[in-house]
């Protein structure tokens, strides 16, 4: 069975940047590593004011590196891909390195914030790369629609805000979010772009002063123990009133892409 990591838009933007630096297309990448464990519109990043957690509870999240530099998060969805560092909560050290063999980007993806909605890519690693590894395991994909108001969570390498700006955490963090209806999400984002929200997206709003921010690109939105979305966008301030936006796993065009690339 192929082993796969699912990434969102920032995974795709990372891929474009990596390809440009390496002078190559996003195919086999020998120096990419994965580790476990417009002004109004920005790619989401590190979780703000989340709770630090143990990686044993979330063995499906990994960190994507290129030339030893952190680029974004990834999600294990089958047992295989670029180099991967897994099984550790630190964003900077620990974990296990696994080489990536292929990066597949959704064929409708565009490197354009005004024309988006297919923000997903699949990274492949050698077969059985995760077998026998501590704190590394796949998460099942969502199989049913998640209703507005449902309580879900996101995880990533977070930030805590203080009076002097952002403080970067060196650890895996957890934050609870509630699903927001697409109509309410569209209204919230209408002042930025009235067509910004589409059916390939799912929105969630933070609870108790937490949110997602710069750097958690590709991280998971988990509902009922299943991968429901992939972190994509949040408000410019990272603590705005707008809901955070995720690629929706259940969207037909997203789900068929994942199935075609992974067989699941």
Verdict on whether the full-model pTM lies above 0.75: yes
- At residue 212, the 3 state secondary structure works out as coil
Q: What pLDDT score does 131 carry?
A: 75
Per-residue model confidence (pLDDT) at position 183: 96
Domains of the chain and any CATH numbers: 3-41+58-138+253-262 (2.40.10.10), 151-250 (2.40.10.10)
Question: DSSP string spanning 123-174?
Answer: EEE-TTTTTT-TT----PBP-SPPPTT-EEEEEEEEEEEETTEEEEEEEEEE
pLDDT of residue 225: 96
Residue pair 177/207 in contact (Cβ under 8 Å)? The answer is yes
In order of 48, 91, 123, 217, 246, the CA distances from 214 in angstroms are 9, 14, 21, 8, 14
Residues 84, 33: contact at Cβ < 8 Å? Answer: yes
What pLDDT was estimated at residue 25? Answer: 37
Tens digit of pLDDT per residue, the chain (264 long)?
A: 445 554 333 334 444 444 344 333 333 333 455 554 433 333 344 444 456 666 678 888 888 877 777 777 888 888 653 334 444 545 555 667 777 888 888 899 887 766 678 888 888 888 777 777 777 788 999 999 999 999 999 987 655 555 445 555 557 778 889 999 999 999 998 988 888 899 999 999 876 556 566 566 788 999 999 999 998 876 555 656 788 889 999 999 999 999 998 888
pLDDT value of position 20: 41
3-class SS of residue 262: helix
Alpha helices in the chain (DSSP H): 9-22, 182-189, 252-262
């Amino acid at each position: 069975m192929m082993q796969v990591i699912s990434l969102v838009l920032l995974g795709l933007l990372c891929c474009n940047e990596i390809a440009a630096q390496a002078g190559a297309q996003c195919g086999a990448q020998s120096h990419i590593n994965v580790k476990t464990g417009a002004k109004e519109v920005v790619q989401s990043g590190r979780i703000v004011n989340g709770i630090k957690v143990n990686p044993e509870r979330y063995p499906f999240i990994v960190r994507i590196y290129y030339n030893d530099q952190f680029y974004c998060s990834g999600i294990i969805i089958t047992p295989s891909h670029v180099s991967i560092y897994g099984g550790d909560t630190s964003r900077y050290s620990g974990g296990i390195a696994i080489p990536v063999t292929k990066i597949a980007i959704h064929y409708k993806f565009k490197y354009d914030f005004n024309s988006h909605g297919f923000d997903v890519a699949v990274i492949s690693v050698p077969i059985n790369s995760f077998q026998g590894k501590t704190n590394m395991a796949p998460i099942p994909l969502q199989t049913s629609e998640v209703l507005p108001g449902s309580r879900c969570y996101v995880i990533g390498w977070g930030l805590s805000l203080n009076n002097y700006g952002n403080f970067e955490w060196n650890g895996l963090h957890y934050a609870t979010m509630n699903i927001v209806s697409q109509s309410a999400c569209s209204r919230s984002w209408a002042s930025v772009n009235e067509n910004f929200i589409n059916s390939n997206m799912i929105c969630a709003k933070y609870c108790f002063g937490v949110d997602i921010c710069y750097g958690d690109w590709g991280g998971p939105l988990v509902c009922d123990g299943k991968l429901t979305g992939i972190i994509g966008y949040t408000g410019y301030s990272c603590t705005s009133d707008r809901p955070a936006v995720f690629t929706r796993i259940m969207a037909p065009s997203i789900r068929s892409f994942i199935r075609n690339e992974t067989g699941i």
